[in-house]
Amino acid sequence: MLNFSKINVFLIYFIFLVIGLFSLLNFQNESKIYLDKKVNLGLDLQGGSYLLLEIDSDPLVKEKMQSKVIPLKKILKDNNLDYSNFKIEDKKLSFVLSDIEKFKVLFFSKKDNMVNPYIDKYNSYELDLKINQKRIEVLFSKFGLLSINNSALNQSIEIVRRRIDDVGTKEPTILQRGEKRILVELPGLKDPERIKNLLGKTAQLNFRLVEDNEEFGVEKLISEIGEELKVSKRIVMSGENLIDAQPNFNNQANQPTVSFTLDRLGAQKFGRTTTDNVGRRLAIVLDGKIISAPSINEPITSGNGMISGNFSFQEATDLALLLRSGALPTPLNVVEERTVGPDLGQDSINSGIKSLAIGFILVIIFMFYKYKIFGIIANLALIANLIMLVGILTIFEATLTLPGIAGIILTVGMAVDANVLIFERIKEELKTEKSIIHAFDIGYSRAKITVLDANITTLIAAIILFAFGSGPIKGFAITLGIGILTTLFSAYFLARHLTSLIILNKKESRISL
């Protein structure tokens, strides 16, 4: 156990030096970055915003139910079923049939033990049918509602991530919480209100023509400047046809604008509409409000356009960001909000460093008092352990939280515990062994099982915490798990090699332990 080949010695110190160099990256000058890696501070250490968002899927359910109307009417018409009083209310579709028995045969008959194709399409897992005398009710099943909800939640998480990434927030945490909620943590965020406004807008964009008279299919909308306009319900083009949107500045009008680029289909629709309606106004509607209603002076067939309005450059930038990231499938509501100030975060850092320093100094004093020169070796291994721990966190660009600091402090105690177990075992061997080298060799060998057992047990606990925990618990589990690995390396490679140097040089002398 005390014999090391040259290649083993080289590998031990090479691994330590490489990992140690990564830990130094946290102290480099930002203006001279050679390798852009460092340990990031979590929300509780550098301050920032915590938002818990909840999707409102009711409008989406109504929209999905509306999409069932035309296909269902077609099926009824194709099978000569007379219907009346079609309406959608309370997220269900209802209508009255004159021949209810024929409807039952159509939707509930079976042929060759195979479900009728109409049932497969309209009364499968997605939808349920309820018959009350001659009134039929079509509503989404529990499975159908769950599918809509899951799809909306996953899409919302992706769009929230795109919007936050576009703002330039570093190391955001965006996670699903339950069936309808999204957790957003933004360390170091200085303007939480802007993020809330960005995430709170569904960004449903469409282009519609302004009408002169009130006809069927017209609704009144208010523009950003307070002008009431009669707008056609027919959507000329939606935001789905946008490829890109960028903020710009119109020097002639001396105001910020948003330039947009359309895909091929959108360019065709926009070109056809502007060609056929020169002289009319085109309303640009965002989330039910008119943000601009310019006049069509000439056909626009290039697939490029511009949105102008009474907004600042920051608002133009945010509008372009919303259009680029896409529309949310459902509205998002903020159900919980917390803001951690940078001063509170700095207090947490100072408290954590103070706790670590006090524990570290007390351990060093105890080990030196208890084991003399071997205590110094244990202390050197402890310092190397912390350097390697920080280095590995830096390699993975981990986010350090206050529980993470607690995991590091616990690592200090566990690292010393390994050396205490080894040295106490060696003491027992020295009582019966005449050869110092043999006593140390057997001590390291027999203590190995105990050290591994203790650390592997703790490592399993850390893995379980990481797998089933969330947020701060994961941070604690990560630092604890990495600390266990660095502890075993420092105790059984670094400390053992340093011990072997002393023992082999003083093999004829008396060793005090």
Amino acid 238: pLDDT: 86
- The DSSP-derived string for 126-195 is SEEEEEETTEEEEEE-HHHHHHHHHHHHHHHHHHHHHHHHHHT-SS-EEEEETTTEEEEEEET-S-HHHH
The domains found in the chain, sorted by start residue, are 6-45+342-505 (1.20.1640.10), 60-144 (3.30.1240), 205-335 (3.30.1360.200)
The pLDDT assigned to 123 comes to: 46
347: Cβ contacts below 8 Å, ≥ 6 apart: none
Contact 266, 235 (CB under 8 A): no
Question: Can you tell me whether residue 381 is helix, strand or coil?
Answer: helix
Predicted model pTM: 0.66
Map residue 284 onto helix, strand or coil: strand
Determine the pLDDT at residue 385: 93
Exposed (0-12), middle (13-18) or buried (19+): which is 355, by Cβ within 10 Å? middle
Task: Give the pLDDT score at 117.
Answer: 45
User: What is the Cα–Cα distance from 259 to 245, expressed in whole angstroms?
Assistant: 6
> Over its length of 513 residues, how does the chain's per-residue pLDDT go in tens digits?
667 888 999 999 999 999 999 998 888 765 455 677 888 877 777 778 888 999 998 888 888 888 888 888 888 888 888 888 888 887 888 888 888 887 777 766 554 433 344 444 444 567 787 888 888 888 888 888 888 899 999 989 989 988 888 877 767 888 888 889 999 888 877 667 878 888 888 888 889 999 887 767 788 888 777 888 899 888 888 888 888 889 988 877 788 888 989 898 889 989 999 999 999 999 988 888 888 888 888 888 888 888 887 778 888 888 888 888 888 888 899 898 887 766 666 777 788 788 878 888 888 898 888 888 889 998 999 999 999 999 999 998 888 888 888 888 888 878 888 888 898 898 888 888 778 888 888 888 889 888 999 889 999 999 999 888 876 788 899 999 999 999 999 988 999 999 888 888 776 566 667
Look at strands 83-89 and 48-55 and give their pairing: unpaired
What CA–CA distance (Å, rounded) separates 368 from 372? 5
For residue 401, the 8-state DSSP code is: -
Pairing relation of β-strands 135-140 and 282-286?
unpaired
C-beta of residue 24 within 8 angstroms of C-beta of residue 393: no
Pair of tokens at residue 156: 């919302």
Nearest to 404 by CA among 28, 44, 24, 48: 44
Q: Own/partner pairs for 75-79, CB < 8 Å, 24+ apart?
A: 75/118, 75/122, 79/106
